[in-house]
């Protein structure tokens, strides 16, 4: 994977950080990369079925998380970068919690040392457990979402609406809740290759074979439909 930055100044060498990854074959590359609000990069599509958090400065791997039984085929990050959904060839969608900002280690040590004299052994062990868990940037999976019968090809999540939307090759578009993972609505008979959810609660679908863009309400009511020239494509 290569990351492109702004053009270098005159006389400076152009450098493009690269992250080494062993990718699985047959996966749409643009569907397995997400960029957080903190300009960190989350990638899927790896041969070890993982998702990886990478720094944009130097392409350093910050964290790797596992949960799927097959390669991750698509990723969707909430607008506030607090939630991540990952679809896979194992037909499931996993919901993860992303912790954007960590308390600095020096602050944790300082705060912990000031409480050493007043804390009991039990409270000390509890604090250690909390601090250990807080080191993880990718928490979960907090939900395992099932219902599709084939490889997941697109998914998205909105933390304000508390909804996850996903689609696969051979089943309908599914809308599920973040809190409990239950099925909220099914868009029956909607064939799509890309799904998107707006902050106003509009579900947008793109059918690559028919070059058709459609929109629906959260209650599965069609809003509009437009067909584009076969010379255009949506990435």
Question: What are phi and psi for residue 144, nearest 5 degrees?
Answer: -115, 115
Token readout for 22 is 């062993």
113-139 confidence digits (pLDDT tens): 434 444 444 445 545 444 544 578 999
pLDDT tens, residue order, the chain (235 aa): 555 455 554 444 445 555 555 566 667 777 899 999 999 999 999 999 999 999 988 889 999 999 999 999 999 999 999 999 999 999 999 999 999 765 444 344 344 443 444 444 444 554 544 454 457 899 999 999 999 999 999 999 999 999 999 999 887 899 999 999 999 999 998 999 999 999 999 999 999 889 999 999 999 999 999 998 876 666 5
pTM for the full predicted model = 0.77
Cα(206)–Cα(192) distance, integer angstroms: 5
Domain 29-102+137-227 - what CATH class? mainly beta
| Residue extents of the structural domains in the chain | 29-102+137-227, 103-136
């Amino acid at each position: 994977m290569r990351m492109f930055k702004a053009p270098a100044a005159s006389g400076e060498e152009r450098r493009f950080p690269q992250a080494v990854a062993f990718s699985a074959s047959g996966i749409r590359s643009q569907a397995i990369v997400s960029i957080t609000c903190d300009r960190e990069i989350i990638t899927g599509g790896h041969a070890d079925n993982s998702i990886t958090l990478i720094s944009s400065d130097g392409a350093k791997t910050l964290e790797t998380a596992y949960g799927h039984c097959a390669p991750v085929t698509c990723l969707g990050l909430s607008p506030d970068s607090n939630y991540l959904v990952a679809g896979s060839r194992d037909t499931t969608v996993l919901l993860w919690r992303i912790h954007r900002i960590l308390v600095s280690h020096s602050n944790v040590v300082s705060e912990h040392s000031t409480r050493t004299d007043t804390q009991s052994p039990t409270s000390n062990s509890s604090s250690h457990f909390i601090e250990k868990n807080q080191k993880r940037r990718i928490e979960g999976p907090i939900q395992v979402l099932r219902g599709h019968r084939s490889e997941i090809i697109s998914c998205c999540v909105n933390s304000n609406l508390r909804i996850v939307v996903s689609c696969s090759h051979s089943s309908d578009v599914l809308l599920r809740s973040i809190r409990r993972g239950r099925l909220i609505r099914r868009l029956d008979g909607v064939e799509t290759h890309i799904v998107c959810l707006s902050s106003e609660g509009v579900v947008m679908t793109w059918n690559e074979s028919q070059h058709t863009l459609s929109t629906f309400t959260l209650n599965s009511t069609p809003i509009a439909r437009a067909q584009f020239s076969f010379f255009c494509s949506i990435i």
